[in-house]
Structure 1
Amino acid sequence: MKIKALLCLALLLVSGCDKAPAPEESFAGLGSDAADFAQVVPGKVFAFPEDHGPHAGFRIEWWYVTANLQDAQGHVFGVQWTLFRNALKAGPTQPGWHDSTIWLGHAAVTSATRHYAAERYARGGVGQAGARAAPFSAWIDDWSFATRPGAAGPLADMQLKASGPQFAYDLQLTSSRPLVLQGDNGYSRKSDQGQASYYYSQPFFTANGSVSLDGKVYQVTGPAWLDREWSSQPLAAGQTGWDWFSLHLDRGEQLMLFRVRQKDGTGYLTGTWIDREGRPQTLHNADIQLTPLATTDIDGRSIPTRWSLKIPGKQLDITTDAVNPKAWMNLNIPYWEGPVQFEGGVGYLEMTGY
């Protein structure tokens, strides 16, 4: 549930606003009213490759990739790549500098001892950043996630690239498995009040390529995960952040779950269990037991970096540990994101609002 966009400072930097908007009750203003934008409603029929591309009527969307990687010597790495599209106002997209879209990119590499992150901003309409459905490509400056020439399908064979001052990666992602619609056939609720997004994933990518850290290059391989979401108001007022997991189990299943935290201490908890054949099953609050076990102090915050996760109906009882508990994304709006490991698998964890 990668919904940390609509970053206030990003909008100020690129659109030239004089003042920051008034503080919102929800995290990053994602619960603010969006009545003028297209709404997420149940019953959407997804169409591909069209839905791989941008959805201009909605306020926010993102293309989000994570990978759990390892080299021949057993060194473990995590890679993240995200592109956000943020509409400043409702209505048709305008050409050139009249375009009111803001694009934002995040990229990071994590090892057991290092964590590097970078961000990019771009104004829409001038080609610096964007996305298209066919042939699929999403980019900001020289960061890109795109279908390789000659691929059998739009997401069958991908190239993923990004770099920062102390890191770089160039990965090939391949999969012949079907996409997974999250929630109720792609309608993913985020609150009891009805806030939702359209959400699908490709959790079956295999990644191969290179990761560079501080000038040293590592040849790596491992599982990767793509999330695609779009919405106009994905949070309710009073929802302060979330804890999101994507997990690859050695026994063949995949698991996505998230808890959206609320000011009163409760949370909206749901997920998707994906069996070995790629068939999804929605998990509800009563199906999941999610408990933080230990925290790490980072930048004046106490971040839960060790978790107990139980799904009795699936005979799952694991403890996830951060590969690097200090995987703090020290960007304009900071958050924690990095690879996790547990007995029987690997995955990724994102935590916001702490």
Structure 2
Amino acid sequence: MMRIVALATLLAVFSLVGCGDETSPAQTAGFAGLGEEADDFAQAHEGIALSFPEDHAAHPDYRIEWWYLTTNLTDEHGESLGLQWTLFRQALTAPDERPAPSPWAADQLWMAHMAVSQGESHRVAERFARSHSSDEDGQAGAVAEPFRAWIDHWQLASHRETSDETSDDEPDTFAELELTAHQDDEYGGFGYALTLTAEGPLVLHGDAGFSQKSADGQGSMYYSQPFWRIEGEVTLDGETRAVHGRGWLDREWSSQLLDERQQGWDWFSLHLESGHKLMAFQLRGGGEDGGDYRSGTWISPEGEPTALAPDEIAMRPLETQQVAGREVPTRWRLEVPRAGIELIVEATHAERWMDTSVPYWEGEVVARDADSGEDKGMGYLEMTGY
């Protein structure tokens, strides 16, 4: 019964987020319910040591989790395009309330999003699945060795077998991945078959992997692989073309990600021409005196992270556009004085609305020097709660 109630509550939150001005459960517990207290689950906090490859797999004792890939690509004609693939996990019951495994018992709900964007085209698909936390071969899941995260036939999986050896004589099945996903639609279908090769180390955000998300201390365990080199094929509107470029994969898990007052976020991941990477976000509300809460990581070309405190990041929307009936900021000023950068970050196309169960904006951006207008890099921007 509790599984049914949890699933009904989750789907109710999905259906209510972003639907006008009416008060919803999501609005009383942070964006999409992510500020709801979850004392019966494991909690993310400082001092937890991340361990690999184990932490590439699912963490069912935590309430929420995701594997989140965005890429900036160029096709065989020299035209730019972007794609997103994300697998989300939501625990339906606390660890000590889980039923025994059976074909009818599920304590984990899975959701996946995929998108391919080029010019005015923006194709989006969504899937749902369920599993038991002990099931490593179900409709959806994520395992560490060999690494595999999947839902139905969409999957991000190791290109290596566990018998392959690294220079340390230990298997590393996260260093080279293959992403495959395809969705039929009335335009001829879209999808991708890509190889991801890591050309730098994993990056731990915040305090050795604990990323604080509010002034009250809520947060997540958070690391990234921002050094993917990508090659393969992308299909859009039934046409397949060769592509290459760069990708950024985020891994987060938590049980209470937000403060209950926080109603959305603006999150940037940037590949800069200098070889540096920048992750920066603001959670709207929940900061000191009710203001916004900011954090980020400045990453050297060698992968050395520098954690950025809330007062070391400034971000301000400069321009909004009407997207899906909402005013969405698509041009920003982003400053990190510690890194000596002042950027104008702008969406290459405004129509990147993800019309999914929890709607949000996700799309490619370009970064230019705020004074000279010189190109400085590219990346992705995600905005929720608009």
TM superposition score normalised by structure 2: 0.85
Taking the aligned partners of 2:114 and 2:79, their CA distance within structure 1 comes to 20
1:9 maps to what in 2? Answer: 11
1:80 maps to what in 2? Answer: 84
1:275 maps to what in 2? Answer: 300
1:62 maps to what in 2? Answer: 66
Give the letter for the 1:234 counterpart. L
Taking the aligned partners of 1:313 and 1:234, their CA distance within structure 2 comes to 27
Taking the aligned partners of 1:185 and 1:78, their CA distance within structure 2 comes to 30
**How big is the shift at 1:266?**
2.0
Does residue 174 (structure 1) correspond to residue 181 (structure 2)? The answer is no
1:292 maps to what in 2? Answer: 317
Does residue 95 (structure 1) correspond to residue 120 (structure 2)? The answer is no
1:193 maps to what in 2? Answer: 216
CA contact (8 A) 1:60 1:84 kept: yes
CA contact (8 A) 1:309 1:319 kept: yes
**How big is the shift at 1:10?**
7.7
Residue aligned with 2:42, SS: coil
Does residue 39 (structure 1) correspond to residue 58 (structure 2)? The answer is no
Taking the aligned partners of 1:108 and 1:217, their CA distance within structure 2 comes to 15
What whole-Å deviation, never above 9, does each CA across 1:14-41 have from its counterpart, x for those lacking one?
Answer: xxxxxxx945421111111100101112
CA contact (8 A) 1:11 1:102 kept: no
What whole-Å deviation, never above 9, does each CA across 1:117-146 have from its counterpart, x for those lacking one?
Answer: 111000113711111111100000110000
Does residue 121 (structure 1) correspond to residue 128 (structure 2)? The answer is yes
Taking the aligned partners of 2:25 and 2:174, their CA distance within structure 1 comes to 40
Taking the aligned partners of 1:339 and 1:206, their CA distance within structure 2 comes to 17
CA contact (8 A) 1:296 1:326 kept: no
The partner residue of 2:341 within 316, 321, 325 is 316
1:147 maps to what in 2? Answer: 158
**How big is the shift at 1:299?**
2.0
RMSD (CA atoms): 2.0
Moved more, 85-94 or 102-111: 85-94
Percent of aligned pairs with the same amino acid: 49
Taking the aligned partners of 1:296 and 1:336, their CA distance within structure 2 comes to 12
Aligned residues between the structures: 342
The partner residue of 1:161 within 176, 180, 184 is 180
What whole-Å deviation, never above 9, does each CA across 1:204-245 have from its counterpart, x for those lacking one?
Answer: 000101111111112111110111000000011110000001
> Could you list the runs of 5+ residues in structure 2 that have no partner in the other structure?
1-7, 16-23, 167-171, 368-374
Taking the aligned partners of 1:86 and 1:53, their CA distance within structure 2 comes to 14
1:203 maps to what in 2? Answer: 226
2:141 maps to what in 1? Answer: 130
1:18 maps to what in 2? Answer: none
Alpha carbons of structure 1 residues 87 and 327: separation in structure 2 relative to 1, 3 Å:
same
Larger Rg: 2
**How big is the shift at 1:8?**
3.0
CA contact (8 A) 2:268 2:380 kept: yes
Residue aligned with 1:262, SS: coil
CA contact (8 A) 1:116 1:167 kept: yes
Alpha carbons of structure 1 residues 12 and 296: separation in structure 2 relative to 1, 3 Å:
closer
What whole-Å deviation, never above 9, does each CA across 1:191-214 have from its counterpart, x for those lacking one?
Answer: 001101000100000010111111
Moved more, 306-315 or 260-269: 260-269
**How big is the shift at 1:171?**
0.7
Give the letter for the 1:220 counterpart. V
**How big is the shift at 1:110?**
1.1
Alignment of 1:224-235 (within 5 A): 224-235=247-258
2:5 maps to what in 1? Answer: none
Taking the aligned partners of 1:12 and 1:235, their CA distance within structure 2 comes to 17
Taking the aligned partners of 2:295 and 2:190, their CA distance within structure 1 comes to 34
Alpha carbons of structure 1 residues 112 and 12: separation in structure 2 relative to 1, 3 Å:
closer
TM superposition score normalised by structure 1: 0.92
Alpha carbons of structure 1 residues 179 and 12: separation in structure 2 relative to 1, 3 Å:
closer
